[in-house]
Amino acid sequence: MSKRDYYEVLGVAKNASEAELKKAYRRLAMKFHPDRNPGDKQAEDSFKEAKEAYEILSDAQKRAAYDQFGHAGVDSSMGGGGAGFGGGASFSDIFGDVFGDIFGGGRGRGERVFRGADLRYNLELTLEEAVKGTTAKIRVPTMVHCNECGGSGARKGASATTCPTCGGAGQIRMQQGFFSLQQTCPRCQGNGKIIENPCPACHGHGVVKEHKTLSVKVPAGVDNGDRIRLAGEGEAGENGGPSGDLYVQINVKPHAIFTREDSDLYCEVPISFVTATLGGELDVPTLGGRVKLKIPEETQSGKMFRLRGKGVRSVRGGSVGDLLCKVVVETPVNLSKRQKDLLQEFQDSMQEGGTRHNPRSHSWLDGVKKFFDDMKF
């Protein structure tokens, strides 16, 4: 049986914030948790489904993979159902993890390490840069470990001490009815340690804000929405945890001539009605230079010409696409009296030929006449 869309499961939009995801999961968990619905298999299944959806979408990396590839993008990371309900998770565990912020924070962190946050950078490229590839220099604001204290948060020569309130656990436990609630330690704010002499550079946080310049190699053939992952270039982790990743989002600027669809390029080519009638040759631009486009006589406006192999090779491989040129017959403007007289003379001569010079026009007029005749009562 196919899985439902995770956003649909939680009842949120695809651009939902982390707070909206948590709020939606909180509501569903309170409603369907097995501890509150003993013996109700349907409620348990609904809880499993909601928990799996939340664990995927609340993880930035898994959410990005899911947004791009759907369930296939996260199956392997889930380990064949690792995001489902299991492992003896009790209602109080869920309450501490997800709802603890109601009472001042969730589980305390103690000495556990945390991976740094992922970052996103929007990189604008021209169509030529996207098609041919380039190397771009970007300047990214980020949080990095403080060099002054080595990330400890304590002044040189000093060190953090174990919090006497929570004994280093980072959390305190309180009993409310049948719930056993875990609350972040108010004294150490969940760190498990107290810094009495904070580092003057980072004010005890262990991280400082910096701008770093990175060189991003953009492969040939990237398109709007493609992302380049720079491992370890995100924000610094906590308590010695690894840094997050930086995702460079590609945005291709609109081009004056071409538009792109997958591996094909499209452009409009204006031609005079004389060229459309008598035929001719035109110079057409491509990303590789000019080519000749032969216009046969009696070409109609809107006709599409395909120049094979003049498009783009996708970053994902495959053959080079085509350039499709749509010819648009341009109506002449700013005519002199002599030119208008010549056109009128030309039009009069066309009338003498009956329907053979304008078969589509006469066919359309016949259809209009029949339409009105059929409306008569």
What pLDDT does residue 298 have? 87
What pLDDT does residue 91 have? 47
What pLDDT does residue 81 have? 39
Better-scored residue on pLDDT, 231 or 80: 231
Query: What percent of the chain lies above the pLDDT cut of 70?
Result: 81
Q: Which of 252, 272, 293 is the last residue of a domain?
A: 252
pLDDT tens, position by position, 155-180: 887 877 888 878 777 777 776 655 66
99 found inside a domain: no
pLDDT tens, position by position, 103-143: 334 444 444 567 888 889 999 999 999 999 999 999 988 77
Same domain, yes or no: 229 and 273? no
Alpha helices in the chain (DSSP H): 6-10, 18-32, 41-57, 60-69, 75-78, 91-94, 127-132, 273-278, 337-352, 359-375
Alpha helices in 58-202 (DSSP H): 60-69, 75-78, 91-94, 127-132
Backbone phi, then psi, for 236, in 5-degree steps? -65, 145
What pLDDT does residue 273 have? 86
Number of domains making up the chain: 3
Q: What does the pLDDT average to over 84-103? A: 42
Pair 267, 275: CB distance under 8 Å:
no
Pairing state of beta strands 264-272 and 323-330?
Answer: parallel
Pair 18, 58: CB distance under 8 Å:
yes
Same domain, yes or no: 214 and 158? yes
287 found inside a domain: yes
Tokens matching residue 39: 């013996």
107 found inside a domain: no
pLDDT tens, position by position, 331-343: 888 989 999 899 8
Same domain, yes or no: 267 and 218? no
Same domain, yes or no: 83 and 66? yes
Same domain, yes or no: 41 and 78? yes
What pLDDT does residue 366 have? 67
What's the CA gap between 317 and 149, in Å, rounded? 47
- Coil, helix or strand for 333? coil
Amino acid at the residue 76: S
Query: What percent of the chain lies above the pLDDT cut of 90?
Result: 23
What pLDDT does residue 270 have? 93
Q: Which of 84-88, 135-139, 345-349 has the highest mean pLDDT?
A: 135-139
Same domain, yes or no: 313 and 248? no
Q: Which of 229, 252, 275 is the last residue of a domain?
A: 252
Containing domain of residue 59, as a range? 6-89
pLDDT tens, position by position, 196-227: 788 888 877 777 888 888 999 999 999 999 99
Four-point Cα dihedral 174, 176, 182, 186, nearest 10: -60
Same domain, yes or no: 167 and 218? yes
105 found inside a domain: no
Please check the confidence at residue 146 and state whether its pLDDT lies above 70: yes
Same domain, yes or no: 266 and 243? no
Q: How many whole angstroms from its chain centre is CA 360?
A: 46
Please check the confidence at residue 101 and state whether its pLDDT lies above 50: no
Domain holding 207: CATH number? 2.10.230.10
Q: What does the pLDDT average to over 40-44? A: 87
Same domain, yes or no: 215 and 327? no
Better-scored residue on pLDDT, 361 or 95: 361
What pLDDT does residue 168 have? 76
Same domain, yes or no: 303 and 238? no
Q: What does the pLDDT average to over 296-325? A: 91
pLDDT tens, position by position, 246-271: 999 999 999 999 999 999 999 999 99
What pLDDT does residue 180 have? 65
Considering the chain, what is the average pLDDT of its residues? 80
Same domain, yes or no: 217 and 201? yes
Q: Which of 49-63, 83-97, 321-335, 349-363 has the highest mean pLDDT?
A: 321-335
Q: Which of 70-84, 200-214, 283-297 has the highest mean pLDDT?
A: 283-297
96 found inside a domain: no
Domain holding 18: CATH number? 1.10.287.110
Q: Longest Cα pair distance anywhere in the chain, in angstroms?
A: 106
Q: HSE (CB half, 13 Å, CA atoms) of 253?
A: 9
pLDDT tens, position by position, 176-187: 655 667 778 877
Backbone phi, then psi, for 138, in 5-degree steps? -125, 150
What's the CA gap between 37 and 29, in Å, rounded? 11
